[in-house]
Amino acid sequence: MQPSSPARPVGRGAKVRAAVHAAALAELVDKGYAALTVESVAQRAGVHKTTVYRRWKDRESLLTDALAEHMATDVPVPDTGSIETDLRALARSLVQAYTSPTGQAVLAAMFTGLPEAAAARRHVFDDRLVRAEPVVTRAVGRGELPADTDPGEVLKTLAAPIYLRLLVTADPVDESTADRAVHVTLAAARAGACGPAR
Amino acid sequence: MQPSSPARPVGRGAKVRAAVHAAALAELVDKGYAALTVESVAQRAGVHKTTVYRRWKDRESLLTDALAEHMATDVPVPDTGSIETDLRALARSLVQAYTSPTGQAVLAAMFTGLPEAAAARRHVFDDRLVRAEPVVTRAVGRGELPADTDPGEVLKTLAAPIYLRLLVTADPVDESTADRAVHVTLAAARAGACGPAR
Amino acid sequence: MQPSSPARPVGRGAKVRAAVHAAALAELVDKGYAALTVESVAQRAGVHKTTVYRRWKDRESLLTDALAEHMATDVPVPDTGSIETDLRALARSLVQAYTSPTGQAVLAAMFTGLPEAAAARRHVFDDRLVRAEPVVTRAVGRGELPADTDPGEVLKTLAAPIYLRLLVTADPVDESTADRAVHVTLAAARAGACGPAR
Amino acid sequence: MQPSSPARPVGRGAKVRAAVHAAALAELVDKGYAALTVESVAQRAGVHKTTVYRRWKDRESLLTDALAEHMATDVPVPDTGSIETDLRALARSLVQAYTSPTGQAVLAAMFTGLPEAAAARRHVFDDRLVRAEPVVTRAVGRGELPADTDPGEVLKTLAAPIYLRLLVTADPVDESTADRAVHVTLAAARAGACGPAR
DNA sequence: AGCTAAGCGAGACGGTACGTCACGTCTTAGG
DNA sequence: CCTAAGACGTGACGTACCGTCTCGCTTAGCT
């Protein structure tokens, strides 16, 4: 009569979930976003199609969920004592994240223009941004940057050229791209261009 | 009405082409990229589906073609005599292009992650870049920027934060966004951060 | 109550069995044969789906079992001393059995063309036939019908037009239908048409 | 030639229709009503599933349509000059129609208890009834049967025992069944039991 | 009265078929 | 000649129900 155990024993559901996530990402890398079938994901995960639909409403939500989970991996926030090396580390880790084959596929998948993905996108980026803000705050504390510097602006200035190359121009992206972004960002921030809006 | 000139290749094909293009863009704005049907485009254009397929290989090429045509509208390149006002004009025109409802739809359509769109994307951006380069060149000539400044880098630095906001974070984009981009870009360029790679 | 034949302690299984039977019939009346779900029957019986499958092999056997149980209700065999009134009573009770809403549903369910149901059908009908035969035998004894009259034939002749209307034509079936069947049957039987095959 | 707008040139649609009908009946004979798949019918007809769904709303309407078409074959109405031989011919043709393997399958399919089939059933039976009525009318004219005989009642009396055996008891049905039905019917009709209701 | 084993609730799962949608191809008429 | 009209093969979609399975809880029935 009474619910003896309030929590439901999830059983092996978690295992299925993980397997499907992994399969989805693998299929993403192999075939790309558009040519990705629920059935092939299910098969790759050793699971039946209907089981997938039991947990995810449709293809979209499966994909966004898998991507969100994938992006949730913690990114280390550097603290070298110098804003330049800190920014360099951030920029390079961003470059690395998206230049692997998997990264490319994930990137392509996240930017499909679908409104569903937009929220996930924004959330992922915001999360990383917030976590990295201390880098700038510390630099301001050390007097490396003007007092009224907006940490978010600095980090967006750092990321912007990298994303531009990844998403718009298809220029090759490597460490020199990261380094150049650092220089631009530092020059702008030191000149006070990352202060409050005017 | 008109005496049909012998061996006229055009026929009324051009009219059909334009009608389909317009219909495609209209559907894009109304329903978005994913929920866009060849049949509905054809119907909206007052044309039969098969006619569309006669002229375009598939949905993809129809869309990219329509978008390419849409983006081909000439963007005026400013020449105010000052790099700051020139850049501001460029940045603001970019912002305007993408903040209208149509612009939003076009933007979303161009960034669908599909490889077919990538080429179109790159081409459009490169084209605009090349046309805008004189702005920077002239500034260098006037001594406003260092002699070894790379015009492309300057313009990418200008565009990057705007695209970042449009595509990644969903921050509101308006004239102040454009102005801030100008400040960042100028600070960086003057500091020599847009010179050749080091 | 009853001696458990397989030497099995019945437990409360009997209660479940009855509840499911009732629920099955109720669902049959509400939704019809085709749109009847094991799960909905189980829910209506306040029992879990698995429990149903523990007792019945599949949907089919549940339904046929429930129907068989339902039909097992004893039909009183009349003995008025006259073959005409006896047959009338039989015919009218048949009509009554199938003109109630429940009767209609049961009828529809029993004639689904499925081979599984065929056996049940046949069994139910044969059973009733055998139990009613004394009616004819007694009439023969009283000299109301020829000596070589086949009781089964008489009763089938009686039932046939009623079933025809129920199953084939959708003519309304009421007491006058029963009475007409009696007249036909008596005329035929008295003329010796229900004797042995020739 | 043809008015282009109102009449649509069916093209080869008719051929598809026939092929699917034939395939449906064949599958019916092979696998029975319940285990009949739209996909297997389509495949057997050398046609794709969606094509079937383009012409028929669902499995049900496909089946009923195919059966209706199948039953539309004209049944010859005998006219031997004697009611007995006429009825015998009718009864035997009925028996023959349902004792072939195909007939069995069709019979089973027509009596699935589904309400959709009910209308078709009724229509088919009524049609045959009306066409056969002259047999009785002529006999009345010849003075073989009472003047107030209801032709429909006679024919239903004839058909009823055959359908009873086919649908309810699973007794074997052959020519002797038909002959017996004739005797019963004649005896009843001559005795005036097929007159107007009393 | 306690221990064991069956019965049951709960629900995930593999599986089959359903009916739908859009794509891109093809054939037939017609202006 | 190009177009309108529309049937078709194709493949994936998302849904519904089937019948199976495993897990604990409850409870019955023997000792």
Per-residue pLDDT, B75 = 80
C65 Cβ contact list (under 8 Å, min separation 6): C21, C56
Per-residue model confidence (pLDDT) at position B121: 85
- Judge whether residue A18 has pLDDT over 90: yes
Asked if A167 and B167 come within 8 Å (Cβ–Cβ), the reply is yes
Name the pLDDT band for A3 (thresholds 50, 70, 90): very low
Task: Name the nucleotide with the smallest C1'–CA separation from A53.
Answer: F14
**Residues of chain B above pLDDT 70, percent:** 91
Residue among A108, A160, A165 minimizing CB distance to B113: A108
Q: Which of A108, A114, A165 sits opposite B34 (nearest CB)?
A: A114
- CB-CB: which of D113, D180, D192 is closest to C108? D113
Angstrom distance, A30 CA to F18 C1': 34
Residue type, D6: P
Highest mean pLDDT among A121-130, A176-185, D115-124: A176-185
Q: Which of B34, B115, B157 sits opposite A184 (nearest CB)?
A: B157
CB contact under 8 A, D169 and C125: yes
**Greatest pairwise CA separation for chain D in angstroms:** 62
Q: What is the pLDDT of residue D4?
A: 37
Residues 17-56 (D) near nucleic chain F, CB < 7 A: 46-51, 54-55
- Using CB atoms, list chains with 3+ pairs below 8 Å to chain B: A
pLDDT-derived band of residue A196, with 50, 70 and 90 as boundaries?
Answer: confident
> Measured between CB atoms, which of C115, C159, C197 is closest to D180?
C197
Mean pLDDT rounded to a whole number for chain D: 89
- Residue D97 clears pLDDT 70, i.e. is over it: yes
Average pLDDT value for chain B: 88
Looking at residue A11, what is its pLDDT?
52
Is residue C138 over pLDDT 80?
Answer: yes
State what percent of residues in chain D have pLDDT above 90: 71
The stretch A142-158 carries a mean pLDDT of 96
Nearest to C179 by CA among C58, C116, C92, C118: C92
pLDDT over 90 at C2, yes or no: no
C115 CA → E19 C1’, Å? 27
Residue B71: both structure tokens together: 């983006």
pLDDT in tens, B81-94: 999 999 999 999 99
Closest residue by Cα to the C1' atom of nucleotide E14?
A48
- Residue C124 pLDDT: 86
Q: How many helices (H) and strands (E) does chain D have?
A: 9, 0
- A60 C-beta less than 7 Å away from strand F: yes
Lowest mean per-residue pLDDT among A1-15, A157-171, B124-138, D37-51: A1-15
Average pLDDT, whole number, for chain A? 89
Q: What is the pLDDT of residues C105-116, one digit of tens each?
A: 888 888 887 767
D161: Cα within 13 Å, side-chain hemisphere: 32
Which chain C residues are closer than 8 Å to D180 by Cβ? Answer: 153, 193, 197
Set of chain A residues whose Cβ sits within 8 Å of the Cβ of B112: 111-113
Tell me what pLDDT residue A117 has.
78
Name the least confident of A131-145, B116-130, C136-150, C159-173.
Answer: B116-130
Tell me which chain D residues have a C-beta less than 8 angstroms from the C-beta of C179: 198
The whole-number pLDDT of residue D118 equals 82
Which residues of chain C lie closer than 8 angstroms to D190, CB-CB? 187, 191
Per-residue pLDDT band for B11 (boundaries 50, 70, 90) equals low
Whether the per-residue pLDDT at C56 is higher than 60: the answer is: yes
Say what the pTM is. Answer: 0.85
Chain E bases near protein CB atoms (7 A cut-off): 6-31
Chain D CB contacts of C165 under 8 Å are 156
CA-CA distance, C44 to C26, in Å (whole number)?
A: 9
Q: Where are the alpha helices (DSSP H) in chain B?
A: 13-31, 38-44, 49-55, 59-71, 83-99, 101-110, 115-142, 151-163, 175-190
Mutate to test the interface with C, among D166, D167, D176, D179 (most CBs of C within 10 A): D167
Average pLDDT on A162-175 reads 93
Taking a C-beta distance cutoff of 8 angstroms, is the pair B196, B150 a contact? yes
| CB-CB neighbors (< 8 A) of A170 in chain B | 118, 121-122
Tell me, what's the pLDDT at B183? Answer: 96
Helix (H, G, I), strand (E, B) or coil at B3: coil
Q: Residue with structure tokens 């009405």?
A: B1
pLDDT at C12: 63
Any atom of strand E under 7 A from CB of A59?
no
CA distance D112 to D118: 9
Predicted pLDDT of residue D7: 35
In angstroms, the CA of A162 and the C1' of E2 are apart by 73
Weakest mean pLDDT among A101-115, C9-23, D70-84: C9-23
Instruction: With a cut of 50, say whether residue B115 has pLDDT above it.
Output: yes
- Interface contact flag, B164 A153, Cβ < 8 Å: no
pLDDT higher than threshold 70 for residue C198: no
**pLDDT > 90? residue A113:** no
Tell me what pLDDT residue B12 has: 65
Cα–Cα distance between C163 and C107 in angstroms, integer?
10
Long-range contacts from A91-99, C-beta under 8 angstroms, 24+ separation: A91/A158, A91/A159, A91/A162, A91/A178, A91/A179, A91/A181, A91/A182, A92/A175, A92/A178, A94/A159, A94/A162, A94/A178, A95/A162, A95/A173, A95/A174, A95/A175, A95/A177, A95/A178, A98/A162, A98/A166, A98/A173, A99/A173, A99/A174
Confidence of residue B7 (pLDDT cuts 50, 70, 90): very low
Of the two residues D12 and C131, the one the predictor is more confident about is: C131
Lookup: nucleotide whose C1' is closest to B12 CA: F2
Q: Which long-range contacts link D141-145 to residues 24+ away (Cβ below 8 Å)? A: D142/D81, D142/D83, D144/D82, D144/D83, D145/D83, D145/D189, D145/D190, D145/D194
**Which chain F positions have some atom within 7 A of a protein CB?**
2-26, 28-30
Considering chain C, what percentage of its residues have pLDDT values greater than 90?
A: 68
pLDDT class of D198 with cuts at 50, 70, 90: low
Taking the CA of residue C80 and the nearest CA in chain D, the distance in Å comes to: 22
Q: Is A15 exposed, middle or buried (0-12, 13-18, 19+ CB in 10 A)?
A: exposed
Where, residue-wise, is CATH 1.10.357.10 in chain D? 68-190
Q: Looking at the C1' of nucleotide E17, which residue has the nearest alpha carbon?
A: D37
Nearest CA to B83 among B160, B185, B193? B185
Mind listing the pLDDT tens digit for each residue in D137-184? 999 999 999 999 999 999 999 999 999 999 999 899 999 999 999 999
- What pLDDT score was predicted for residue C71? 85
Of D125, D160, D183, the CB nearest to C160: D160
Size of interface C-D (CB pairs under 8 A): 120
pLDDT digits (tens, 9 = 90+) for B142-182: 999 999 999 999 999 999 999 999 999 989 999 999 999 99
- Nearest chain B residue to A125, by CA: B169
Residue closest to B158 by CA, chosen among B108, B93, B99: B93
| CA atoms within a 13 Å half-sphere pointing along the CA-CB vector of C184 | 37
Q: What is the pLDDT of residues A66-85, one digit of tens each?
A: 998 898 877 889 999 999 99
What is the pLDDT, as a whole number, of residue B4? Answer: 39
Residue D61 has pLDDT above 50, yes or no: yes
User: Cβ separation of B180 and A109 shorter than 8 Å?
Assistant: no
Q: Of B38-42, B69-73, D3-7, which range is least confident?
A: D3-7
Residue of chain A whose Cα is closest to the Cα of B158 = A161
Nucleotide E25 C1' to residue B117 CA (A): 25
Residues of D at the C interface, defined by Cβ within 8 angstroms? 32-34, 108-115, 118, 121-122, 125-126, 153, 156-157, 159-161, 163-165, 167-170, 176, 179-180, 183-188, 190-194, 197-198
Mark whether B and C touch (3+ CB pairs within 8 Å): no
Residue closest to F23, CA→C1'? A11
In this predicted structure, which of A93-97, C118-122, C167-171, D19-23 has the lowest mean pLDDT? C118-122
Please state whether at least 3 CB pairs lie below 8 Å between chains D and C: yes
Specify the pLDDT at position C121. 85
Closest CA to B66 of B109, B125, B2: B109
Q: What is the CATH number of domain D12-66?
A: 1.10.10.60
Q: What band does D10 get if pLDDT is binned at 50, 70 and 90?
A: very low
Render pLDDT for C148-169 as a digit per residue (tens, 0 to 9). Answer: 999 999 999 999 999 999 999 9
Out of C122, C163, C176, whose CB is closest to D170?
Answer: C122
- Torsion, Cα A45 A51 A53 A56, to 10 degrees, reads -70
Q: Which residues of A touch B (CB under 8 A)?
A: 32-34, 108-115, 118, 121-122, 125-126, 153, 156-157, 159-161, 163-165, 167-170, 176, 179-180, 183-188, 190-194, 197-198
In this prediction, residue D8 has a pLDDT band, given cuts at 50, 70 and 90, of: very low
Which residues, including other chains, have CB under 8 Å from residue C7's CB and lie 6 or more apart?
none
Question: In the CATH scheme, what is the homologous superfamily, with its name and number, of domain C68-190?
Answer: Tetracycline Repressor, domain 2 (1.10.357.10)
Sign of the Cα pseudo-torsion (A25, A30, A34, A37, in order): negative
CB contact under 8 A, C194 and D184: yes
A169 CB closer than 7 A to any strand F atom: no
Where along chain A do the CATH 1.10.10.60 domains lie?
12-66
